[in-house]
Structure 1
């Protein structure tokens, strides 16, 4: 399983997770382990497939032993003509692609919330509180000095980030309001 996201220093980090079966007596167990982070600024399906193949080779994992691949639904990953999954499949026809169900659920939640004007207004207000602080290192420093916690930007697809954003705001709502009123006066 491979997914990429920019880290706090704006470097695209590609995460590799390996899922495999172990057998004890007559029982099989699914094991899942983090393998590595790899910096990746390349975005085409072929480039990502080559990164995957290189990384597996580095760790001594033959592609011939792989039976599945899981990514998000982005075209460069899931595309059936030029997506990473298709390039991997061309190398090993037994390495079947399965879209990430959690990612699909997140996208469904994001689309559903976008249809609800109350949700759009609410999350828009949360982002509006975040923006002025995040756009100024001085304000961000004052925020940390006075409140001791930070705000988080909203993610378009990661609902756990939205929960964290609302949680910080909920815990310190009066403090944020007081701090902001000091800025505008």
Structure 2
């Protein structure tokens, strides 16, 4: 009963993607001892059988609630989940998708994702593990992949596609990871990550047009100024709320689930072009509220330099070029994503990747 209860609580938290342990678990008098112990306590209050076998009613060396036990349960769940995925893959062909990044402890980690078609013909992407690598050279990554495949009983001969970004260590023609795998399996065709290709194409196009490039810079500047403090964010929400109430009263907008909800400006990300589209949409929908907040910042600003920047932003936003490019980018990005994606890839690679499900 004690073991089953601990497993039930751990599986619930893992399924929700929540942390198990807290920062103050050893302190008995702590009111927040982590999700695992708190849910376990609630469980015991509702179930007498559980209450009789945990905590003070359990042997001191068999509590099954310590941090080490929690980590072991997590590892066991991860192992069983990976086994189930590998079993579902079986002897089928699959595509290998990889990416590496540093974690908070400044360690290079390689995420491994496998794409395959199950017995029902459904194309599935399955995250099968994170592998620690000493460095990001192609040889090191290939060695880590070989060890990973050997551990889980996968064969390189079953790989029918590789999906990475465009870094030289990944797609190098002589010593890149894709070349090392192709030397071993000539059918493991490499496809450059489509999201990465699209980002490179759009960034290059923007940098080549001075008006659009300036618009993106000013848009980011407006977002940073308006969202620089909680006070400014609250002011923006209040102004937008007043605008929405007025529009609802006049019948210009209607209410429904998912429509006209409370929102705020979002900072565009450097590596996700879709975030620019979201920022443009919100800037246009909150135009009057943003200009009112900027005017408020100018009137109450204490620093002459900051007030000068705000005046410059207001002048820029009132120019025809800024408004025109905002609407142009809204239409271009919002309604032509699929067309841009096709242009960003070779037609042969596009159709091949569609057929074999090898798009990263």
Please give the TM-score of this superposition, normalised by the length of structure 1.
0.70
Residue 127 of structure 2 aligns to a residue whose secondary structure is strand
Partners of 1:171 and 1:10 lie apart in 2 by: 40
Counterpart position of 1:67: 160
Partners of 1:36 and 1:176 lie apart in 2 by: 45
Structure 1's 8 and 178: CA in aligned 2 closer, same or farther, altered over 3 A? farther
Counterpart position of 1:16: 112
Residues 1-185 of structure 1: pairs in structure 2 closer than 5 A: 1-4=97-100, 14-22=110-118, 29=121, 31-36=123-128, 38=130, 42-132=135-225, 139=229, 141-146=230-235, 147=237, 149-155=264-270, 157-184=271-298, 185=301
Partners of 1:131 and 1:70 lie apart in 2 by: 35
Query: Which one is further off, 91-100 or 52-61?
Result: 52-61
Query: Which one is further off, 121-130 or 40-49?
Result: 40-49
Structure 2: runs of 5 or more not aligned: 1-96, 238-262, 302-360
Residue 191 of structure 2 aligns to a residue whose secondary structure is strand
Question: Would you say the 8 A contact 2:161–2:189 is kept in 1?
Answer: yes
- Per-residue deviation at 1:124? 0.9
Q: Number of residue pairs matched?
A: 176
- Per-residue deviation at 1:79? 0.8
Partners of 1:143 and 1:8 lie apart in 2 by: 31
Question: Would you say the 8 A contact 2:224–2:267 is kept in 1?
Answer: no
Question: Would you say the 8 A contact 2:226–2:233 is kept in 1?
Answer: no
Structure 1's 59 and 151: CA in aligned 2 closer, same or farther, altered over 3 A? farther
Which protein is richer in strand relative to its size?
1
- Per-residue deviation at 1:118? 1.9
Partners of 1:167 and 1:75 lie apart in 2 by: 36
Query: Which one is further off, 29-38 or 158-167?
Result: 29-38
Structure ID, larger Rg: 2
Structure 1's 39 and 66: CA in aligned 2 closer, same or farther, altered over 3 A? closer
Structure 1's 107 and 154: CA in aligned 2 closer, same or farther, altered over 3 A? same
Structure 1's 62 and 150: CA in aligned 2 closer, same or farther, altered over 3 A? farther
Residue 67 of structure 1 aligns to a residue whose secondary structure is strand
Partners of 1:69 and 1:100 lie apart in 2 by: 9
Question: Would you say the 8 A contact 2:265–2:279 is kept in 1?
Answer: no
Query: Which one is further off, 106-115 or 168-177?
Result: 168-177
- Per-residue deviation at 1:150? 4.7
Query: Which one is further off, 3-12 or 102-111?
Result: 3-12
Question: Would you say the 8 A contact 2:108–2:136 is kept in 1?
Answer: no
Question: Would you say the 8 A contact 2:109–2:130 is kept in 1?
Answer: yes
Please give the TM-score of this superposition, normalised by the length of structure 2.
0.40
Counterpart position of 2:80: none
